[in-house]
Amino acid sequence: MEQILQTTYLWLKAGHIIFVIFWMAGLFMLPRYFVYHQEAEAGSPEEARWIDREAKLRKIILTPSLIAVWVFGIALATAMHYWSMPWLHAKLLFVVALSAYHGWLVSYGKKLAKGQRGMSGKALRMLNEVPSLVAVVVVILVVVKPF
């Protein structure tokens, strides 16, 4: 039984890490796409291409990766009985925040596709740093387990 749990654990962990990488890559790309989108002339063919690229990134990479991260993460925490660990609670707080950021990006992208350019390119460039900061904290929580 222990061998099965160890094997399952390794596959769950691998799946979780793989989809975290995909999700983070998408979270780094989407705000950058928004910058280029906003720099394109409104109503131009270039803007239409950015709208299409953003939609594909969301539908093909970002949202499926977010779902897989949560599924693998919950399965991993359950398999290893991590639910009572304080470091996991802290990690979950940051992952919930990053998931909310993901949702906000999707919402902003839909507004942008309708022609509502509510943020500056500089602000969008700064948003690119959000996933980096969260990743640093989460990795420290998972690897170091400071509490």
Q: Which residues of 99-109 are buried (b: 16+ CB within 10 A; e: fewer)?
A: eebbeebbebb
Instruction: Confirm or deny that 81 is annotated as ligand binding.
Output: no
Instruction: Confirm or deny that 122 is annotated as ligand binding.
Output: no
Complete DSSP assignment for 69-134? HHHHHHHHHHHTT-TT-HHHHHHHHHHHHHHHHHHHHHHHHHHHHTT---S-HHHHHHHTTHHHHH
- List the binding residues for heme: 16, 91
- List the binding residues: 16, 91
